[in-house]
Amino acid sequence: MNPPPNDQPAFSLAQTVTRIANILALLFLFLLGVKGLGDGFKLLGGDVLDVIFSTTENPFIGLTVGILATTLVQRSAVTTSVIVGLVAAPETPLPLANAIPMVMGANIGTTVTNTILSLAHMTRPEEFRRAFAVATCLDFFSIMTVAMLLPLELTTGFLQRTSALLAARLGDVGGVTYESPLSGALNWGFVPISGLAESLFESQRAQGLVVIGVSAVLLFVALAALVKRMHSIMQTRVEKFVGGVLGSSAGFSWLVGVIVTVMVQSSSITTSLLVPLAAAGLLTLETAFPITLGANVGTTVTALLASLAVSGPNAIFGIEIGLVHLLFNLIGCLLIYPVPAVRRIPLGAARGLAALAVRSRKVALLYVGGLFYGIPAILIVLERALR
C-alpha cells in the first residue's frame, strides 16, 4: 500500500532537520577544536611558546610556515583556524604581527589541491595546458598579493591597524561584544578533553600535548566532514551554479565564487570544479579567474567563524586576524583585477608555466614539489640551523 500523500513532506522535513542537526554538530566540534588548541598551548608553558613565537618573528619564516602547514593538511581553513586559536589564547597569545605572514602563506598553500588535481590531465597535452593554467593562476595572484602587501605590512602595519579599527567598530554596532555566546557550551564540551588529559598525565605540559592533539584531530575531522556534508548537499546545485555563470560578467562570476565557497566551506572544492571544466574547453582562463578570486575571498569566512569559538581578554585578536585574512584577499582583488595590464601578469605567468609543463612534465612536478613543499621546508630548516 502506498503511503498517504501527506507523508512525503513529513519525510522531507525530517530529512532536512537531520541534515541541519548534523551540520550544527560538526560545526560545534570544529569550534571546540579551535578552543582546545588555544587552551592546549597555554598548558605547554611559556618556554615552548617562546620558541614558536621567536621562530615566527621572522616574517619570511612565518610565511613559509603558513605555506608548508597548509600544503601538508591540504586545507587553508585548518591553518587559519589554528592561527585564530593561537592569537586569541587566554595567556601568552601569538603576536598578531607574527600571525599575519602565516595567514599570507596559508593563502599560497591553499592552491595546492587544484594544482595537484590538474596533473591528472598530464597524458593529454591540450587538456593539461588548459587545466594547469587555470589551476596555477591563483598561485601567481597570491604570490603577487604577498609581494605587494607583505612589505607594506612590515613597514606600516596597514593590515593590523585596519583590522583593529574594524574590530573596534563592530563593538559600536548593535551592542556587539567580544565574549562569544558559544563560550558556555564550548566550555562544557571541553570538559571531557581536559578530563582525559588530566587522567593520563600529571604534567601540565603533557596534558597540553594531549589537548592539542585531540583538538587538532577534532578540528581537522570536523571540518573535513562538514565540507563533505555541504558538498554532498550542494553538489548538483553548485555545478549548475558554476555552469550557469560561464560567460557572465566578471563581477557576477566573482560573486558566484564567494557564494559557492561560503556554501561548501572550501575554496579547494570551488576551484577544483573549474579544472575539469577548463580541461574540457568549457571554461577559459579569463572566465575562470574572477570565480577563483571570489573563492579566495569566500574561504576567509572560516577564520571569522573560528573567532566565535574564542572568548576572554584576547578574543578580539581572533576577530582581528580573521579580518586580516579577509582584507588581504579583498585588497589583492582590487589591486590586481581591475587594471588589465596588472591582471595580465598572473594570467600570462600561468599560461607560460602551463606551456613549459606541457613540453616537460618534470616542470609541473618540480613546480608543485618545490613551491609547496621543498622551498618552505628548506627555508625553515636553514633558519633553525643558523640560529
What is the helix (H) or strand (E) element at residue 273, kind and residue range?
helix 267-279
pLDDT at residue 348 in the model: 95
Query: Alpha-carbon distance 84 to 95, whole Å?
Result: 11
- Distance between CA atoms of residues 9 and 93, nearest Å: 50
Read off the pLDDT of each residue in 3-23 and give the average, rounded to a whole number: 63
Strands of the chain, DSSP E: none
DSSP 291-352: HHHHHHHHTTHHHHHHGGG--STTHHHHHHHHHHHHHHHHHHHHHHSSSHHHHHHHHHHHHH
Q: Is the pLDDT reported for residue 141 higher than 90? A: yes
For 108, the grid coordinates are 599560497
The model's pLDDT over 219-241, given as tens digits with 9 standing for 90+, comes to 667 766 765 666 565 555 555 55
Average pLDDT, integer, range 198-215? 81
pTM, two decimals, is 0.73
Least confident of 65-79, 105-119, 284-298: 65-79
Q: Is the separation of the CB atoms in 313 and 42 below 8 Å? A: no
- Quote the pLDDT of residue 239: 55
Q: How would residue 8 be classed by pLDDT, with cut points 50, 70 and 90?
A: very low
What is the structure's pLDDT at 234?
Answer: 53
Over residues 68-76, the mean pLDDT reads 73
